[in-house]
Structure 1
Amino acid sequence: MAALVRDHIAERGNVSDDMPIFISTSNNSSEDGRIPAKSLSRLIKGYLVKAGINSTRITAHSLRHTSAMLKLRSCNGDLKATQEFLRHSSPTVTIRYLQELDAARDTSSTDVMSMIRNAGSHP
């Protein structure tokens, strides 16, 4: 998939970091050719359904969220790298993903509760 995106960018030519990767030829697009979010969500949902994935829980947004979490994990929580990956103009939004990752890593309270529950079940 990454190779296909790289090929697409190469075919388009000079693409700066602030430009959309995929552009629309529709009259509904913005001035810079960005595909409207709703249209993109419908496109992605259509491809998911074609691939046999027809769940209301798997959406364009959930795929983006998963990508953000995977990026954070792969770069050991590097906020700047993740911000650039997601193309956020400000780290404020990206911080939410970092906080979620930190919460997922901190399982100590869950572990303690599990030990307490299990302690009563053993003779």
Structure 2
Amino acid sequence: MGGEPHADAEGKHHAVLVFEGEPRVRNPLHRALTEEGYAVDTTADGPQAIALTDVAAFDAMVLDVMLSGLDGFEVCAALRRRGMWLPTCPFQYGEGARQPPVRAASERAQQHEHLVPVVAT
């Protein structure tokens, strides 16, 4: 059913925020989600990810967990402190995904039903 908008019973289209630093990962994620009918906003910047949630309503987030500066876990924590609880997918791509801090974070994320860890190598 690619391309057909994902909508709830009231016809509201589902929106996803993708916070990913690498364009070679961010752009295909954007394309794939858009082709499946989701409304998608993307950013490579943690503060911008938080700012986007002030101006748009999202149904889910895909967050890069290993960015320098404000990473995906910090963005998620900042949003939680503001009372925003969205289904969130912490994501790490590449060699960094094998590093102990990422594996430990992925294991921690599995303990929370609202976090679905993804590690792609």
TM-score greater than 0.5 by the shorter chain = no
More strand by share: 2
More helix as a share of residues: 1
Relative contact order (alpha carbons < 8 A, sep ≥ 6): 1 or 2 greater?
Answer: 2
TM-score tier by shorter-chain length is under 0.3
Q: What TM-score do you get using the length of structure 2 for normalisation? A: 0.27
Q: Which has the larger radius of gyration?
A: 1
